[in-house]
Structure 1
Amino acid sequence: MTDFSQQDLEQLEKKGISKEKVLDQIETFKEGIPFVKLERAAVISDGILKFSEKEEKELIQYFESVRGDLALLKFVPASGAASRMFKAMFNFLEAYDPSQETLSTYIERTGDTAVQQFTSEMENLPFYEHIMDRVSAKANNLDEKAYLFVKEMLMEDGLNYGFYPKGLLPFHNYGKQSATPFEEHLKEAALYAKTGGNANLHFTISEQHDAMFKKEHMQAGPKISKETDTQFNITYSNQKPSTDTIAVDMKNKPFKDNDGSMLFRPGGHGALIENLNDQDADVIFIKNIDNVVIDENLQEVADSKKILAGVLTKVQARAFEYAKMLEHDTVSNEKLDEIKTFLENELNVRFSDNYEKLNPEEQLVLVKDKINRPIRVCGMVKNEGEPGGGPFWIYDSEGNVSLQIIESAQIDTSNKEQASILKNSTHFNPVDLICGVRNHKGKKYNLLDFVDAKQGFITEKTKEGKELKALELPGLWNGAMAFWNTIFVEVPLVTFNPVKTVNDLLKPTHQA
């Protein structure tokens, strides 16, 4: 049993975390989180929909016909710092001294392909000229130029891009001006998340970047408003301290810092289910901050979003009709069978084998429970060998089957059968979600009721030379939405264009 000191209890109160929550988390460390059991990969016509051009046009038209009556919101997780994006470049600054060796000798000696690509193509970066204006006079040769360029880009007395949030870095160069992901998301919102000239966006950001985002908002907002004839209503939130998770030592006791306080760590993107739960709209589009496209691909991306929104609004209209009928508890057996078939065929709901053995009242309760849930329509991209989660049919601990987005870290790859299912998966998750979070009466669901707490991650870390175990909450589009009704749709590769490292900005898809 964990005994909390007075200092511990004061710390919990300050963070807004209950003692019970911490004890639950410690219990999770003790029990461990079991691997997810895959039944099979979701593929086209078995868990993933693929539409013809004609069907796509109809879905776009359907969404366009209903969007005027809907409250739309674009929700953008944007708390990622750029430091990880520049990891290879920070290493380069530490390891390379232009006065001691040439750049080519350094690359040959270290085999550093990231630096090789960066230095040979850096004139294609959106901020190349801006940095060169600042350093070219100081450089005596090309090697020094490359070194000073990286230094100016990252260091605090330079542009300090290493500290920036990803969303505020220049990503695309349009000749006279460059554009940040923040701006590119506004342009997108104007195309598919606008009603009556207004587009609502919500960015989840880190507290230390609040002022930087608001400044960018003041500068870029009016410009994009004018270009797109759109009024942008932009709100922000930070990850809540109450979603941080306790770290434990290797004996599953709370890990203590040198000052005797318990160590809490951010709970990962799964914590954002709380931020999402604070939003209310008929249709919420979710897309990560670093996944943006240049202007020439905007229309294709917008059409893809409208197709997904068409799927959601169309299926939701029928689900609402059925939910209304079920309220009266006088549904005929034929109608109940019809609703069950709708749930199975349109919302991928699976009923357990003993459904047929239940009496009509119990069947009614079960069908009611299955239809009254938030719905998510998730775009899936053909697998091109990118790391990340993918769509699978999985078993839960009771043996029920459901459609989920699963990360490779949740899969026991030492099990041949599970590894083979993973290997045969055809699609992966680009984080492209359209969410319906209201019920048939227009009341918002409490999204925290639909989280599977057993789908988190335990990782091992070190702090000040001591080993510890950390707990990540179930991912926002993984366990945090485990009990939603789920539809997967194939989307074009152009919609997936993230920037994980600075060299990704050199890809043709980011060259305007």
Structure 2
Amino acid sequence: MFTDKDVKQIENLGLTTEAVKAQVERIKSGMDYAKLEEAATVGNGILRFNKVEIEKYVKLYEKACNQLNIVKFVPASGAATRMFKFVYQFLKEYHDDEERLGHYLKTHKNFWVFVNGLEKLPFFELVKNEIPNFQNLPIEERYTAFVKTMLNKSGLNFGQYPKGLLPFHNYKLEVLTAFHEHLLEATFYASTNNTAKLHFTISEEHTEHFKSELEKIKPTLETQTNTEFEVTFSYQNKSTNTIALKTNNEPYRTPNGNLVFRPAGHGALLDNLNNVKSDIIFIKNVDNIVVQEQNKLQSDYKKLLAGILLDAQGKTFNYLKVLENEQLSEQKLLEIAMFLTHRMNVKLHADFDDFDLNRKASYLFNKLNRPIRVCGMVKNEGEPGGGPFWVKHKDGETSLQIIEFAQINVEDKSQKAIVKHATHFNPTDLVCGTKDFKGNPFNLHNYVDHNATFITIKSQDGTEIKALELPGLWNGSMADWNTIFVEVPVSTFNPVKTVIDLLKPAHQVS
């Protein structure tokens, strides 16, 4: 199947021909859909806490945090291109004409919202100042000039920026990027002993841009916050790239005959996460960041999740030490089993009650000795995102999972009905404990559901291809972690998926 030239290309990526053949077979065999048992809801997989309970967990975290090594992990490799999709469409479809402009605005709602909020965009002044005589231009020329200056390579080229370096919030005296805001936000909940550690996964081509921005903002920010920032960067490992196939399942090749390998989605970042050796890791997407005045409330919910993690982790570690060192009674094993079931959302094997004491102890040890994640879940109000579900696996066991909609076979009426009754979705707001009870880091690759891959149809140079994405970082890549879902307010979820999201209150300075 592969020529000598192919083999050399494969090996240069850090892959093996066996691994690539397995990718090909995976794409050919098609996607495995998740088997939903039921939606996770409050009282059935999702915890809800009152004000007193929230304060208790917040204080637990605040008391312990200075003794912990904490990192905030921010996936930030994406370019801003998708944010401006409808604006690129305007450039392609519209040509200066006042009469046509009115019609275009009526038939393209997103662009109408964009131009009506133009002056509220954080980069309005920056773009305007690049355009001679901007205010005196006819309105149709003004919009066209603004868009071209904002997006074209000869202008500011924002569409090719990494999203993290795009101007996000306008504080009148300064305009801050999402990257800048994440550093500032870390001081509210992810710093210890006046030090904040952040790790950004970025595209290698953007490295110098991020480092330049860090050098520019770090001295002032450290003075303002009395916090030292330790910021590190990493790239998606090329060995996680996956082969592209044509629709007839033959490898897609470039005109010079090379195989085409593509980045394999955010699941490829498991390597990067696995290399972060900390007691607690906060994970949050780069575009989900609010203006500073809203950070205090948001930060309390991050502390809530971390406090719940520390509480669950402490009990888990104590039970693991007991299981490792003692012969336990039936009563003690039942206590541990109840903790697993009611606190860690682990549904025990159907035959667990029939196991002898040794097998029960071994089974419970195995189920407890895993990475732990505590994930915020938001009430479903129509925003996009995966959701929390109870999922049945091929071995017959059921577990709590975050499932993307692409993993669900909505052609199956029973599965569609379960989705219809879902009450919450995943805002990608989680806190992870990745060390075991002896302080050793888990190898996170041991807890992946490799069947939870995504197969998508993409366009490559005008040709339709099949692409393989690795199990999502907080989906299949964390399938065998112990999981706790906690309801958090929808106000904690403020992603910027399109440029007009920057006009929402969470991104506007009052």
Q: Normalised by the size of structure 1, how large is the TM-score?
A: 0.97
Residue 415 of structure 1, CA deviation: 1.3
Say what the alpha-carbon RMSD is for the aligned residues.
1.3
Residue among 115, 123, 129 paired with 1:127: 123
Q: Identify the residue that residue 503 of structure 2 maps to in structure 1.
A: 506
Counterpart mapping for 1:466-481 below 5 A:
466-481=463-478
**Structure 2 Cα separation of the partners of residues 238 and 245 of structure 1:** 16
Q: Identify the residue that residue 187 of structure 2 maps to in structure 1.
A: 190
Residue 251 of structure 1, CA deviation: 3.5
Offset from partner CA, 1:319-338 (integer Å, 9 cap, x none): 00111111125222222211
Offset from partner CA, 1:117-152 (integer Å, 9 cap, x none): 111110111111122122151553122111111111
Structure 2 residue matching 1:353: 3-state secondary structure: coil
Residue among 4, 7, 13 paired with 1:6: 4
**Partner amino acid, structure 2, of 1:107:** L
Residue 19 of structure 1, CA deviation: 1.7
**Partner amino acid, structure 1, of 2:406:** A
274-283 or 16-25, which deviates more: 16-25
Residue among 86, 93, 113 paired with 2:109: 113
Q: Contact conserved, 1:394 with 1:403, CA < 8 A, in 2? A: yes
**Structure 2 Cα separation of the partners of residues 173 and 140 of structure 1:** 25
Counterpart mapping for 1:300-339 below 5 A:
300-328=297-325, 330-339=327-336
**Structure 2 Cα separation of the partners of residues 440 and 274 of structure 1:** 22
In the superposition, relative to structure 1, how do residues 329 and 32 fare at CA in structure 2: closer, same or farther (>3 Å)? farther
Matched, 1:142 2:128: no
Counterpart mapping for 1:140-219 below 5 A:
140-219=137-216
Structure 2 residue matching 1:285: 3-state secondary structure: strand
- Following superposition, which runs of at least 4 residues in structure 1 exceed 6 angstroms of deviation? none
Structure 2 residue matching 1:455: 3-state secondary structure: coil
Residue 238 of structure 1, CA deviation: 0.5
Matched, 1:492 2:480: no
Structure 2 residue matching 1:483: 3-state secondary structure: coil
**Structure 1 Cα separation of the partners of residues 463 and 65 of structure 2:** 54
**Partner amino acid, structure 1, of 2:35:** K
Counterpart mapping for 1:103-502 below 5 A:
103-108=101-106, 111-137=107-133, 140-328=137-325, 330-502=327-499
**Structure 1 Cα separation of the partners of residues 268 and 70 of structure 2:** 22
**Structure 2 Cα separation of the partners of residues 266 and 495 of structure 1:** 29
Q: Identify the residue that residue 80 of structure 2 maps to in structure 1.
A: 82
**Partner amino acid, structure 1, of 2:193:** G
Q: Identify the residue that residue 19 of structure 1 maps to in structure 2.
A: 17
Q: Contact conserved, 1:102 with 1:143, CA < 8 A, in 2? A: no
Offset from partner CA, 1:205-255 (integer Å, 9 cap, x none): 011111110011011222221111100000000101000011122333322
Residue 461 of structure 1, CA deviation: 2.4
Q: Identify the residue that residue 57 of structure 1 maps to in structure 2.
A: 55
**Partner amino acid, structure 1, of 2:372:** I
Residue 479 of structure 1, CA deviation: 0.1
Counterpart mapping for 1:97-108 below 5 A:
97-99=95-97, 101-108=99-106
**Partner amino acid, structure 1, of 2:204:** E
Q: Contact conserved, 2:97 with 2:140, CA < 8 A, in 1? A: no
**Structure 1 Cα separation of the partners of residues 365 and 177 of structure 2:** 45
Residue 285 of structure 1, CA deviation: 0.1
Q: Contact conserved, 2:340 with 2:368, CA < 8 A, in 1? A: yes
Structure 1 gaps, min length 5: none
**Structure 1 Cα separation of the partners of residues 206 and 482 of structure 2:** 35
**Partner amino acid, structure 2, of 1:230:** T
Q: Percent identity?
A: 48
In the superposition, relative to structure 1, how do residues 320 and 24 fare at CA in structure 2: closer, same or farther (>3 Å)? same
Q: Identify the residue that residue 44 of structure 1 maps to in structure 2.
A: 42
Offset from partner CA, 1:238-283 (integer Å, 9 cap, x none): 1010000111223333222221111111000000011000111000
**Partner amino acid, structure 1, of 2:113:** Q
In the superposition, relative to structure 1, how do residues 147 and 465 fare at CA in structure 2: closer, same or farther (>3 Å)? closer
Q: Contact conserved, 1:74 with 1:285, CA < 8 A, in 2? A: yes
Q: Contact conserved, 2:32 with 2:453, CA < 8 A, in 1? A: no
Offset from partner CA, 1:416-442 (integer Å, 9 cap, x none): 111111011111000001000000111
Q: Identify the residue that residue 67 of structure 1 maps to in structure 2.
A: 65
**Structure 2 Cα separation of the partners of residues 113 and 195 of structure 1:** 46
Structure 2 residue matching 1:399: 3-state secondary structure: coil
Offset from partner CA, 1:151-210 (integer Å, 9 cap, x none): 111111111101100001111110111111111111111111111111100000011111
**Structure 2 Cα separation of the partners of residues 288 and 415 of structure 1:** 32
**Structure 1 Cα separation of the partners of residues 479 and 343 of structure 2:** 17
Q: Normalised by the size of structure 2, how large is the TM-score?
A: 0.97
